Amino acid sequence: MPVQKGTILVVDDNKSILSTLEILLTPEFGEVTPIYNPNQILPELKKKDYNLVILDMNFVAGVNTGNEGIYWLGKIRETYPEISVVMITAYGDIDTAVRALKAGASDFVLKPWDNEKLLATLKLAIQLNLSKKEVSQLKERESELKKEINREQRDIIGSSSQIINVINLARKVAKTDANVLITGENGTGKELIAFEIHRLSGRAKELLVSVDMGSLTETLFESELFGHVKGAFTDAHENRQGKFEIAHKGTLFLDEIGNLSFHLQAKLLAAIENRQITRIGSNQLIPTDIRLICATNKNLENMVKEGLFREDLFYRINTIQIELPPLRERGTDIITLAEFFLRRFTQKYSKPELKINQQALDKLMSYSWPGNIRELQNTIEKAVILSETSVIKPDDLYLRPATEIKSFDFIATLEEMEEKMMQLALEKNNGNFTAAAEQLGITRQTLYNRLKKNKQDDK
């Protein structure tokens, strides 16, 4: 039998037994520490990482109840649950040994013992300890991995009343397990709100699993969400968990839910309502415990009216709805976000001295941001990469050309027409308030005040 290395603590009040075990075990295991006073057990276990404790059942002369051994077994298990404990007991104390097994001992050895059987028993006990440690390390790694995944940089930047209201609602919802529908234009940060809800929820220690429903083909839908077994179809070379299983005990985030075809909506609804799924190629029902968050840039209510989205699914995913405001309605959050992205990208591209001047900030404020935060991020990154001086100026900001106004028939009020003209003038003048004001025939301060008033009225 191959030598099994390990560290062993032997505890027995009989010094001759201690000596015998030390002589027998040292060649086989390498490190054996004998002690005769059980009060030394816990201090000794603090000193080094032991794999195994060999523990006598009785320590008081004339007392053979085994209670002392059971007591110290409990102390070891309480403080060091992964350490294997093998009890030594007299031949007639089988009942006591059974009590020890029920109390958590790995095994027991009868006196007098057979050396080969003793060594085999101890090697199995050490292997059990190593297996427990490996499982514990894997769990620890899994826990740390989940923390790292959920700790990714997902800041919600801004102090406008619109975004503060969204954050407050998200925090209220996070404390529950209610299904949440997050709506808003592309690029407004719907995924960030989903992560914030998960981070503040009772499921934060588990994973948030994201699925882009817009990128799933109909043939991949079931395999991606529900998984499959080996051989279920041509390319199913191994068993695979679906996103519902992976998100078990955590949060499932279905982005672009409005892109899901009508007949697949029924399959999704069944999985949500039944709280169980079946892998492709299997008949086994798998229970799932998830918190569901969905997001879309589409108007699902209109889609329901048009027969494009199931009404029952809409109400199932929409216990609470959170509407994210477009960037153009968030006022000076535009500046806050621009400065945040500037810090990120000047660090990423090693341009720590790069700044952005006031005229460039004015240009950012005057732009309508059809692509919202995602477009702003892209704009700042591009400006940082291409800048050849230490200052980002208006001309360094590459924004979409202003849309020409061919007709004002669509404008309902004079106020709306006035605001559109001011925005157009600013865009044509690269955000230069002075030039735009001159073109409009008003002062720079008047232009600024009217824009500010219009934004406040929109609130």
State the burial class of residue 347 (Cβ atoms within 10 Å of its Cβ: 0-12, 13-18, 19+): exposed
Domain boundary among 377, 400, 423: 400
Q: Which residues pair with 254 in a beta bridge?
A: 211, 294
- Residue 278: per-residue pLDDT: 94
Does residue 134 share a domain with residue 213? no
Whether residues 229 and 93 share a domain: the answer is no
In a domain, 299, yes or no: yes
Distances (CA, A) of 208 to 119, 308, 385, 412: 48, 28, 33, 44
Whether 264 and 207 map to the same domain: the answer is yes
Q: For the beta carbon of residue 411, count every other beta carbon within 10 angstroms.
A: 15
Which phi and psi angles does 387 have, rounded to 5°? -65, 135
Residues 309 and 406 reside in one and the same domain: no
Range of the domain at 72: 6-139
CB 280 within 8 A of CB 263: no
The reported pLDDT for the residue numbered 218 is 80
Domain with 447 in it: what CATH number?
1.10.10.60
165: in domain: no
**Residues 237, 280: contact at Cβ < 8 Å?**
no
Residue 267 contacts residue 154 (beta carbons within 8 Å) = no
Is residue 365 domain-shared with residue 396, that is, in the same domain? yes
295, 325, 355: which is the final residue of a domain?
325
Is 185 in the same domain as 320?
A: yes
> Which secondary structure element, helix H or strand E, spans residue 255, and what is its range?
strand 251-255
The pLDDT score that the predictor gives to residue 330 is 95
Q: Which of 71, 95, 431 is nearest to 439 (CA)?
A: 431
Low-confidence ranges of the chain (pLDDT < 50): 1-3, 404-411
- Asked whether the CA dihedral 9, 11, 15, 20 is positive or negative, the reply is negative
Burial of residue 395, with CB atoms counted within 10 A of its CB: 0-12 exposed, 13-18 middle, 19 or more buried: exposed
% the chain with pLDDT above 70:
89
Q: Are residues 313 and 177 in the same domain?
A: yes
Report the pLDDT value the prediction gives residue 434, as an integer from 0 to 100: 79
Place of tokens 């000193």: 47
DSSP 395: G
pLDDT tens digits along 175-207: 999 999 999 999 999 999 999 999 999 999 898
Q: Is residue 153 included in any domain, yes or no?
A: no
162 occurs within a structural domain: no
**Based on the domain organization, do 362 and 414 belong to the same domain?**
no
What's the chain's length in residues? 459
Q: Say if residue 407 is in the same domain as residue 334.
A: no
Assess contact for 58 and 99: CB atoms under 8 A.
no
Q: Which tokens in the block code for residue 247? A: 């998100």
CATH of the domain at 135: 3.40.50.2300
Assess whether 311 and 251 both reside in one domain: yes
Number of domains in the chain: 4
Say yes or no: 84 and 97 in one domain: yes
For residue 17, count CB atoms less than 10 angstroms from its CB and return exposed for 0-12, middle for 13-18, buried for 19 or more: middle
Q: What is the pLDDT of residues 109-165, one digit of tens each?
A: 888 888 999 999 999 999 998 888 888 777 766 765 665 565 555 678 999 999 999
Contact by Cβ (8 Å): 345, 384:
yes
Domain annotation covers residue 454: yes
Query: Nearest Cα to 130, choosing from 2, 7, 3?
Result: 7
Say whether both 176 and 320 belong to one domain: yes
Q: Which pair of tokens denotes residue 243?
A: 């996103």
